[in-house]
Amino acid sequence: MKLHKSGEDYLEAIFVLQQKKGMVRSVDVAQHLGVKKPSVCNAVSILEQGGFLVKDEDHFLHLTEKGRETAETIYERHCYFKNWLIEAGVEDATAEQEACRIEHDISEQSFQKLKKWKELGHPEETNGD
């Protein structure tokens, strides 16, 4: 199942909240993303059907292995682009918003190439592969 941008945002939010709080409920996600609880309930249902998370009897949300791996990938991209933009002089709030847009649209291949390029100290010549 291919996630839409909003599904990726929900997964990332759950992942971040789990890192901070441990246990996460739909209301926590709603507050974190600034959306209404019915929107979260709809997203949770879709993510459950896709095998990305489960909800326990106390209504806590738990990422599955598939969900955790997907969320980690999204979060890695987000942090990478946010930090890169801040290093370039972009204000924090703007960098946060822009990173959120970029993280969804860049291909995995291009993301890995950018990471490698930056790690190598921005070599002048690249072969375009």
**Residue 48 near residue 7, CB atoms below 8 Å:** no
Query: pLDDT tens-digit profile of 39-50?
Result: 999 999 999 999
Q: How far apart are CA 34 and CA 78, in angstroms?
A: 18
From the candidate CATH numbers 3.40.1180.10, 1.10.1040.10, 3.40.50.1950, 1.10.10.10, the one assigned to the domain spanning 5-70:
1.10.10.10
Interhelix angle 37-49/5-21, nearest 10 degrees: 100
Give Cβ neighbours of residue 56 (< 8 Å, ≥ 6 apart). Answer: 62
Query: pLDDT tens-digit profile of 82-95?
Result: 999 999 999 999 99
Sheet containing 24-25, strands listed edge to edge, beginning at the edge strand earlier in sequence: 24-25, 60-63, 53-55
Average pLDDT over residues 16-40: 95
Domain edges within the chain: 5-70, 75-119
